[in-house]
Structure 1
């Protein structure tokens, strides 16, 4: 038989090993929770961006004759948030309504930390336009940089943006 004095400290080592295993398990759970929060945030941003893009697309569809005004207003940063006439309180023609619509949609996007742009879709030959809504470090543009939504007809996989085709 072994003496009890030879077993001193073994129980403490068992407890320390059990705590180490528990700590590793908890760290794994924390990492999983962190990733879940990131995925939720990304999903919320995507839904908000889709709603903003859909809002602008519906406004363009309702006021189709002013398409060139929508394009001009949204492609110029200084024109995006300013409008000449408040079409809620005054009667507006199609051009003035397009100016007002762009400012309303861009201000809504800006309030959510997003930027917007509209350009002819790359790779299309039917004249369709793409509405870009970007957030985070991504700009709502087409280019070769890592912070652009697209590079020609290819989506930049490192970007945080939604692109909606409109006609």
Structure 2
């Protein structure tokens, strides 16, 4: 015959242990969901960044004779936002079109919370240019700071950016 006096509270302890195990499982699931949301957000930014870089690259490809104007206009934030002539409504020279193209792409990037830049690609001898697109706390620049996209030929570890080679 069983002695039930020694069994008092055992059901309660079992329920507490089961709830503890369930809580640990739920916390693991919450952490997993959080990482999934972060990964989805990062993928969205990358897709948008690729589209911005591709847009600028295609505009440069069409108007290749104004490459230096593209580089000049995109090198500073002030030049990126303004344009001298609206090429959607009137005929433009190649340099005016480059000025207009940069302002259009920069406005699209700004609307998405991104910055753009174009520099000579690091680590090559053929003079190719790279389009930098950065978001979050990263700037579309090359340097040794933690907010720079790259440091020479490598990405900074905490950067959120992408680079597209243009030729």
State how far apart, in whole Å, the 1-side matches of 2:111 and 2:25 are.
40
Q: CA shift at 1:15, angstroms?
A: 0.5
Q: CA shift at 1:156, angstroms?
A: 1.5
State how far apart, in whole Å, the 2-side matches of 1:10 and 1:78 are.
72
Could you tell me which residue of structure 2 aligns to residue 151 of structure 1? 151
Q: CA shift at 1:68, angstroms?
A: 0.5
Map 1:16-55 → 2, pairs under 5 A? 16-55=16-55
Map 1:1-150 → 2, pairs under 5 A? 1-150=1-150
| 1:46-97 residue CA offsets vs partner (Å, 9 max, x unmatched) | 0100110000000000000000100000002111010111111111111000
State how far apart, in whole Å, the 1-side matches of 2:137 and 2:8 are.
58
- Structure 1 length normalisation: TM-score? 0.98
Unaligned runs of 5+ in 2: none
Q: CA shift at 1:8, angstroms?
A: 1.4
Secondary structure at the residue paired with 1:89?
Answer: coil
Unaligned runs of 5+ in 1: none
